[in-house]
Amino acid sequence: MVEAEKPHISSGLEGVYIAESSICKVDGQNGRLYYRGYSIDVLSSNSNFAEVCYLLLNGKLPSSAEFSDFNRQLVEARDLPEGVVNIIKEMSKKSHPMDILRTAVSSLSAYDAETADQSPEANLRKSIRIISKMSSIVATIGRINAGGSYVAPDKSLSHEENFLYMLNAKKPDKRQVDIMRDMFIIHAEHSSNASTFGTMVAGSTLADIYSAITSGISVLKGPLHGGADEAALRMMKAIGSPDNTEAYIDSALAGKQKIMGFGHRVYKAYDPRAKIIKAYLESLQLDASAEVKTYTAIALRSEKMMVEKLSQSHGIWPNVDFFAGPVYVAAGIPPELFTPIFAASRSPGWCAHMLEYWKNNKLFRPLEVYTGQLDLQYVPIEKRQ
Ligand code: ACO
C-alpha cells in the first residue's frame, strides 16, 4: 500500500471519540472531573456512595423518598448466594482476588432470574444488584483469604460500613468508613477509559449486563489501568525506606521502567482524584502507623521527583492509583484487595454507561490495516519444509 493510501491508525484509540455521553466529563487539560455535572470535589466532600450510584444511574441527585427506595434496593441485594461463596472459597489463595472477583461476578448470572431480560427496567434492577453484590464479593474474598468465613451483611449499615463489616467481621471505626466512602466515590466513574470501553464493547453485542461487567473487570485488572494501585504500593514496599526513594526511581527510569501510579492518557495536569487522595493521606498522618508514615514519605518523595523530571517534558503527574495504596493500608486493607475495591467502586460507572449506550446501541467493530500476504498456495503438511 502506498503511504498516501494508508489509513490513519490511532494507536490505542488515542484521540478517538466513541459516543456522546452525559455521565462524566474528564477535563484533562485543567485537571477537573465531573459526574453528571457535579465536581468530584463537591461529591467527595458531601455525598455518599449510594447517592453517587443513584446520580450516575439516573442522571440526577435523588429526593429523600427516591434515595430511601434506591438505598433499600441496594441493601436488600447485599447477601450472596451460597454457590458464589463456594466459588470464592474454592479459588481462595489459588488465584489473585481480581480473578476470583471476575469469576464470582460472572457466576451471578446463574442466580438472577432477569439475566436474559434486556429491558431498560430489568437492566436498571440488575445494575443495582451488581453494584451491591460486587462489594459483598470483594469483602468476602478478603475475609476468606484471611482465614475467616462468610459474614452475612448487616442491613442497618451504610454501603461503606457494611463493606468493612463483611471484610473484618466487626463494626468499622469512623476513620475506616470515611476512607472507604471517599475511595468508593472517587473511583465510581471515569468516562470511556479502558475498562468502561471493554464493558461497552461486550455490551454492544447485546450480551447481557453480567457479561459486560465481567469484561470490565478483566480489563481493569492490568497494571497499566486499575492494577496500578497495587503495583504502586508494591513499589513503595520495595523501596523500603524514604532515603532509598531517589536512587530507586532514578534507576527505574534509567532502565526505561514505568513508575506505576503516574501518567494518564487524558490528564495532562494533576489528576483531581490524586489531589483529593493525597490531601486525605496527609490529613491522616498525625495518628498514622509507622508503616503508613513510611509509605507516605516514600510516596511524597517519589511524587516530587517524578513531577520535577517528567511533568514538563511528558505531561506526567500522579494519577488516582498512586496515593491510594497508603490510604488503603491506613484503613487496614491488604494490597491484593486494592484493585478489586476499585472494580466494586467502578461498577456504577460501568452500569451507567451500559444503560446509556443501549439506548442507541451500535456494535463496536473497528478496522485494522492488514500487513500480511494474500493468495498463498496451500501446501499439504507432508510436503512442507
Ligand atoms: N513512568 C515513566 N514514564 C512514563 C510513565 C510512567 N508512569 N507513563 C508514561 N511514561 C512515558 C513513556 O515512557 C513515554 O515516554 P517516551 O515518549 O519518552 O517514550 C511517554 O511517557 C508516553 O507514554 P505512553 O505509555 O505511550 O502514554 P499513554 O497515554 O499510552 O499511557 C498510561 C498512559 C498507560 C497510563 C501510562 O502513563 C502508564 O503506563 N502509567 C503507569 C501505569 C498507571 O499508573 N496506570 C494507571 C492509569 S490511571 C487508571 O487507569 C485508573
The question of whether 321 is a catalytic residue gets the answer yes
Residue-wise pLDDT tens digits, 52-90: 999 999 999 999 999 999 999 999 999 999 999 999 999
| Residue 281 pLDDT class (50, 70, 90 cuts) | very high
**CATH architecture of residue range(s) 17-222+337-360:** Orthogonal Bundle (1.10)
pLDDT tens digit sequence for 98-121? 999 999 999 999 999 999 999 999
The per-residue pLDDT for range 299-320, each reduced to its tens digit, is 999 999 999 999 999 999 999 9
Sheet strand arrangement including 24-27: 24-27, 32-35, 38-39
Distance CA 212, CA 118 (A): 12
% residues pLDDT > 90 (the chain): 97
| H/E element, 125 | helix 120-145
Question: Each residue of 191-202: pLDDT tens digit?
Answer: 999 999 999 999
CATH number of 228-330: 1.10.230.10
pLDDT of residue 3: 63
Residue 112 falls in the annotated catalytic set:
no
Closest CA to ligand 1's atom 9: 263
Cα 331 to ligand 1 centroid, rounded to whole Å: 28
pLDDT at 1: 59
| Nearest Cα residue to atom 36 of ligand 1 | 263
From atom 32 of ligand 1, which residue's Cα is the shortest distance away?
264
Contact 348, 56 (CB under 8 A): yes
Q: What is the pLDDT of residues 169-227, one digit of tens each?
A: 999 999 999 999 999 999 999 999 999 999 999 999 999 999 999 999 999 999 999 99
| Catalytic residue, candidates 182, 229, 271, 321 | 321
- Distance in Å, CA 269 to ligand 1 centroid: 14
So where are the chain's domains?
A: 17-222+337-360, 228-330
CA–CA dist 224, 268 (Å, integer):
16
Instruction: Answer whether residue 2 shows pLDDT above 80.
Output: no
**258 Cβ below 6 A of ligand 1:** yes
Q: Which atom of ligand 1 is nearest to the CA of 194?
A: 50
